[in-house]
């Protein structure tokens, strides 16, 4: 069993991480999960939350708003809709994300598809919970 696996985190704006890691905690759409070296191949969607990276050099955290993660035994890639290192997140960033989620929810309520409204409500709740979780 290998001690590390290669990890990449990218968003449309930039590449945020490319390094050897020992574990990555993901906010999976179906629940939180931890990927480690030799993890079974998996593809999962992400919900808004904190992605935590453990590396031999130390740990880091990123706020992600959603996206996908692909895990192979020796590597892992996360394609995030938006990703910001937690050290760079301000209350203004979070307020902007909440405002976007609220606008999506309001727009969805005008449609006929209740599942879209439910998804938008869940996104809004997740974004609001991030502020509490991050103590912002």
pLDDT tens-digit readout, 68-102: 999 998 999 999 999 999 999 888 888 888 888 88
Kindly list the distances between the CA atom of residue 39 and the CA atoms of 2, 34, 42, 54, 76, in Å, as whole numbers in the listed order. 11, 9, 8, 15, 9
Instruction: Give the pLDDT confidence of 36-77 residue by residue, as tens digits.
Output: 999 999 999 999 889 999 999 999 999 998 999 999 989 999
């Amino acid at each position: 069993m290998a001690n590390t696996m290669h990890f990449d985190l990218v968003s449309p704006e930039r590449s945020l991480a490319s390094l050897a890691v020992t574990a990555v905690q993901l906010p999976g759409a179906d629940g939180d999960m931890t990927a480690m070296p030799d993890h079974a191949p998996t593809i999962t969607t992400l919900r808004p939350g904190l992605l935590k990276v453990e590396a031999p050099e130390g740990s880091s955290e990123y706020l992600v708003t959603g996206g996908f993660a692909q895990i192979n035994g020796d590597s892992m890639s996360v394609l995030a809709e938006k990703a910001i290192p937690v050290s760079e997140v301000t209350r203004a960033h979070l307020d902007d994300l909440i405002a976007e989620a609220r606008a999506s929810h309001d727009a969805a309520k005008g449609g006929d598809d209740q599942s879209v409204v439910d998804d938008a409500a869940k996104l809004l709740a997740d974004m609001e919970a991030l502020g509490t979780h991050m103590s912002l």
